[in-house]
């Protein structure tokens, strides 16, 4: 009998929406306003990080602000970019969300962005895409700690092993894997090879709920077999 996940837990930045260029532009503007420089390679180091961790790295390169105001400034700048330039959804993301709903599989968003940032994105989806949002300002430990995904599972009243996580960053993969969820990597700006994902897909474009169910079933069945 095919085993089906009870929920799919989505990362946001880089997985659901391509907001990373907005974050990188906001970081560059902020660093340069304090006379510093910010390279693409430095920006990539922040992908998937908790915002407070990122703020400390920005302070280290000369941003003379407390961590909380740095987070607020970056969040407001990215929200402005979303409002003026639009929300660039990742290929296949909205279509897969709809298909998961049609298949009766629940969904939640687990992001290290602030709640107001996540809500801005979710509000621009033309259907009720997520049952819950777990945001960066609502967790005690950010990714790569498993706490964000465990919190989502608790809200949904499911065991984390009944969930499948979708992530685009190494930090996010580590969080999903450590939580005990089946974890799918869909690389965007950073290669994910060799970081323990149960599967890597180059894109969500053309993928369906049936593909998600097949991945979950195959992974769980293999794990059960290895324990025998």
Q: Which residues contact 125 (CB under 8 A, 6 or more apart)?
A: 94, 97
72 and 119 co-located in one domain: no
Q: Among 66, 85, 104, identify where a domain stops.
A: 85
11 and 30 co-located in one domain: no
Residue carrying the six token digits 């990215």: 78
Quote the domain boundaries for residue 59: 20-85
CB-facing half-sphere around the CA of 43: CA atoms within 13 A = 19
pLDDT computed for residue 110 by the predictor: 98
Burial (Cβ within 10 Å: 0-12, 13-18, ≥19) of residue 65: middle
104 and 73 co-located in one domain: no
Q: Are 58 and 37 in contact (CB under 8 A)?
A: no
152 and 50 co-located in one domain: no
The size of the chain, in residues, is 228
For the whole model, what pTM was predicted? Answer: 0.88
Question: Bigger pLDDT: 111 or 50?
Answer: 111
1 found inside a domain: no
117 and 59 co-located in one domain: no
Number of domains in the chain: 2
Phi then psi dihedrals of residue 109, to 5 deg: -105, 130
2 found inside a domain: no
- At residue 1 the predicted structure's pLDDT band, cuts being 50, 70 and 90, is confident
Least confident of 26-35, 43-52, 60-69, 76-85: 43-52
pLDDT computed for residue 11 by the predictor: 97
CA dihedral for 191, 133, 49, 27, sign (positive or negative)? positive
Which residue, 74, 142, 129, 135, is CA-closest to 101? 129
99 found inside a domain: yes
13 and 31 co-located in one domain: no
For residue 18, CA distances in Å to 84, 97, 209 come to 15, 16, 22
188 and 158 co-located in one domain: yes
Task: Report cis status (omega within 30 of 0) of the bond before 129.
Answer: no
Phi then psi dihedrals of residue 44, to 5 deg: -65, -30
pLDDT tens string 90-142: 999 999 999 999 999 999 999 999 998 899 899 989 999 999 999 999 999 99
133 and 51 co-located in one domain: no
Residue carrying the six token digits 């290290």: 112
pLDDT tens string 7-48: 999 999 999 999 888 989 999 999 999 999 999 899 988 887
Which residue, 64, 144, 158, is CA-closest to 112? 144
- At residue 191 the predicted structure's pLDDT band, cuts being 50, 70 and 90, is very high
The percentage of residues in the chain with a pLDDT greater than 90, rounded to a whole number, is 82
For residue 50, pLDDT over 90 is answered with no
pLDDT tens string 152-188: 999 999 999 999 999 999 999 999 999 999 999 999 9
181 and 123 co-located in one domain: yes
């Amino acid at each position: 009998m095919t085993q089906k996940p009870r929920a799919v837990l989505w990362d946001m930045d880089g997985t659901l929406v391509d907001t990373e260029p907005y974050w990188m532009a906001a970081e560059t503007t902020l660093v340069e306003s304090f006379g510093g420089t910010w390279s693409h390679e430095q920006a990539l180091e922040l992908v998937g990080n908790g915002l407070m961790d990122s703020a400390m790295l920005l302070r280290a390169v000369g941003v003379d602000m407390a961590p909380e105001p740095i987070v607020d400034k970056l969040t407001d700048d990215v929200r402005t970019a979303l409002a003026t330039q639009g929300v660039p959804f990742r290929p296949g993301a909205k279509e897969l969300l709809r298909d998961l709903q049609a298949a009766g599989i629940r969904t939640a968003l687990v992001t290290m962005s602030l709640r107001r940032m996540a809500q801005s994105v979710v509000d621009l989806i033309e259907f009720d895409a997520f049952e819950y949002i777990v945001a960066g300002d609502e967790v005690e430990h950010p990714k790569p700690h498993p706490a964000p995904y465990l919190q989502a599972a608790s809200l949904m009243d499911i065991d984390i092993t009944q969930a499948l996580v979708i992530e685009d960053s190494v930090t996010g993969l580590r969080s999903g894997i450590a939580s005990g969820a089946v974890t799918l990597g869909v690389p965007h700006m950073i290669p994910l090879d060799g970081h323990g994902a149960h599967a890597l897909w180059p894109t969500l474009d053309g993928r369906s709920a049936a593909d998600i169910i097949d991945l979950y079933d195959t992974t769980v069945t293999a794990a059960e077999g290895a324990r025998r």
